[in-house]
Structure 1
Amino acid sequence: MSKKVVAVTPEAGFKEIAAVMGRWKVTAVPVVERDGHVIGVVSEADLLPKEEFHDHRPGLVEQMRRLDDTAKAGSDRAADLMTSPAVTVRPAATLARAARMMAEHRVKRLPVVDADGTLKGIVSRADLLKVFLRSDDDLAAEIRRGVVERLFPGSHDAVRVTVTQGVATVTGQVGDGHLIPLAVRLARAVEGVVDVRCRLRASAPAVHRS
């Protein structure tokens, strides 16, 4: 997340909000009370009805169908323009969870708040994509350390992990074949991994002859 966040108060006017977005090149800003609590978010979509209905007076049917938009077209304060409650995320949330929330709520940015709802930062789509800039060597080291060595302590030396363009290939023999599906899931969950190709196989059990 980015800890440097531009926000507005509920009393901020329409032009002030538009100017802040333009100056900082953002598409949405959190609306915070004086104690830092996030109470909503104003996005470009919240401001557009003002322009849309600037020279067009909606009919009764259109007003009823688009109550929120027509109300925002006649508003000029953040408190009336914002979408509330804000969709927020905690600092400890995984990037995968943040991505799911953005997709589910169709938003481009999420304010990051603590347990009290106080603004701590903001995470954007660009922040989520940064994980895919991790080097292949870094990803391979994390898969080996956090997955292979943890799940297969007795046979991890027989496992080879390579990563090319974010795609991990795990090859070798392991003692417990039942853990192979779990290893694939954990490797795929490593932030920055694009895909996992599993070529692990279980060691043949020893045959005891009398």
Structure 2
Amino acid sequence: MTSKDQCGIFGASSVEMSDEDILAAMKSISGYIDITPSDFQEIYGIAYRHAIERLSHLVKAEDIMTRKVVSVGPDTPLSEAARRMDEMNVSGVPVVDETQTVVGVISERDFLLKMGAEKNGSFMAVIAECLSNRGCVAMPIKGKTAKDIMTSPAITAQKGNTISELSKMLAEHRINRVPVVDDKGRLAGIVSRGDIVESYCAKVF
């Protein structure tokens, strides 16, 4: 069971609802309210959804982002970038210039695409290519640097973006993490899907 599933199971009974949430729920139900168990359940469900919506707009990127970010420079050799990602157990890193401005992002998918995974970025496609060619599929990118395979321009978020906005951003661009930048485009942190799920558990539930 994932942490997201656990939030769905345990969070529903422990979310804190305000008077505003209850009133909003009651106002949304037309006609006379005779409080029965089913009526209460309906009010609770609406109030619960209202609470989730309200709180998801209160938590910002700066509240949940990881501030100590693993990053690489445009001229970082891919061998070093891959080693750093492995050591830190991350699947993607921002690429920053000398002023810490985000100029791109490197992910496992970028490596896979350059190693024969084609459009879907599948690890199994790389395995298939390796087995059919009887050789190392990493050879085409040996000696290359971060700027040769990075996705650029990078999708970035602002410190003030809400959880709701961050979730939409990740879904629309089909990415697993987004660098957070300041008003000058300099790296300030990073938010992953895991950070968003954890924030719902810790802050919303």
Q: TM-score, normalized by length of structure 1?
A: 0.54
Paired residue for 1:48? 112
Give unmatched runs, 5+ long, in structure 2. 1-64, 117-125, 134-139
Gap runs ≥5 in structure 1 = 58-71, 135-190, 194-210
Report the Cα offset of residue 192 of structure 1: 2.1
Match of 2:180 in 1: 112
How far the C-alpha of 1:73 sits from its partner, in A, is 5.1
More strand by share: 1
Using a 3 Å threshold, how does the CA distance of structure 1 residues 43 and 107 change in structure 2: closer, same or farther? same
Percent identity over the alignment is 40
Distance 1:47 1:108 in 2: 15
Partner of 2:75: 11
The reply to whether residue 38 of structure 1 matches residue 38 of structure 2 is no
State the one-letter code of the partner of 2:155: V
1:17 offset after TM fit, Å?
1.1
- Paired residue total: 123
> Aligned with 2:112: secondary structure?
helix
CA distance in 2, matches of 1:96, 1:107: 15
Contact 2:176–2:193 (8 Å) recurs in 1: yes
Task: Tell me if the contact between 1:50 and 1:74 (Cα under 8 Å) persists in the aligned partners.
Answer: no
Q: CA RMSD in A?
A: 2.2
* Equivalent position amino acid for 1:41 in 2: V
AA aligned opposite 1:79: K
Flag as ranges the 4+ runs of structure 1 deviating above 3 A: 53-57, 72-75
1:39-97 per-residue CA deviation (whole Å, 9 max, x = no partner) reads 0000001111343377578xxxxxxxxxxxxxx85872111110000000000110110
Structure with the larger RCO, 1 or 2 (CA within 8 Å, 6+ apart) = 2
Matches within 5 A, 1:38-77: 38-52=102-116, 76-77=144-145
Shift of 1:129: 0.8
